[in-house]
Structure 1
């Protein structure tokens, strides 16, 4: 049986081409959720999944998930209740049935009941979707996208999609995230300057990405999108920080 031109063309698409098709199909997702306690809006898990599912079908992609718990603990609330915390590492494999790409994303969740694990996996999955498919909540999320020019009027930049081929290799990403996880596990609840520990591993990772952007000229939105130079820089800083925290812990044990 002869294949028509459309079938042949579709079969010649690379995995990167298919991911780009999915990125474009997902498009803009408006913030439909509201956190009434901290007063901010967000893109809900449901809205993101509703946009991603048809995009994956259109592009001929499947995503396989697996999660590994790296830390879990309990803390007593101010009212005497119990909060259960779970930190995990999510592994996400994107495949078209022939080739595949694998990414790792940390996730954290807390709950007074039994849903901490579910919340942690949901946070990892949601963050993966947002980075993998370049999800924004506006037509142009770049704050410099609309530049008012006296001579030519408004200049609008077109939205650019991140090519997965520019993402760091899996081994480097895993090394950096493992160091961030180690630092988080060794950090005291409050440091010597009175500053509280980040609430989640994801929050700590975002702090390091921000540092990489400021210190090494990167423009990353996640560990995966760091430049090799920035990744090497924060990896070195993380190693020193983890070593220092380990030394403090050993000293405290000796004094005890």
Structure 2
């Protein structure tokens, strides 16, 4: 007797799935089209403002001009230094603060937790903040970018939630073996928190790298400004640098925008899986 071939049941196509795909495709296009326009115009020697899928007259003079503009060198180095140190300080305070807040037997734990959450809703304002930074001698110094973004309560809460997801049996086993609280932190908590460290570290890095408003308010010394602020001045003031390359103003500005976002565009694909995993685990509790 011949065996009847097994056929998989056909999957029904729901209207909701179709609409969902269309909506997300449109959202993706809304995000990608402006980026693609900026990239195309950065390679286009024609300075007329219009949308093109490909460069009409391909050129690299915009990027060559930025590379040979010496006044961008110091701000770029300042941005790299402040981004690295700001990310390190932010991760240090967020991990230590999150680890402290999961110590359920610590006196005053709830008070400190609510006190930190209070600062997410209310702040002193710009003038009190300026006076504090002035007392700390951080006005007119690039180190203000490191200190100002060193503590982010939202990232601290995410890190605390991530730590709470670590099985309590690991902490108990380490205590039985005679491990100190800081030993548990360095030998157990941090090695298990690579996803959270990558995702939150990326948040700190993007925040410090893209911050030009703080520089605009607190810094007047041109040697202390960062890369974003210098590029902003070039774009907003129409201050085109003089070099050996003949390039239109629009081409140069779009090339500057690409250079500003290029480091994280290259870094994000390598951290994407950690970013998604870290945020989901830190924000969703079972």
TM-score class normalised by the smaller sequence: under 0.3
Q: Give the number of the structure whose residues are more often helix, by fraction.
A: 2
Q: Give the number of the structure whose residues are more often strand, by fraction.
A: 1
Q: TM-score, normalised by structure 1?
A: 0.22
Could you say which structure has the larger radius of gyration? 2
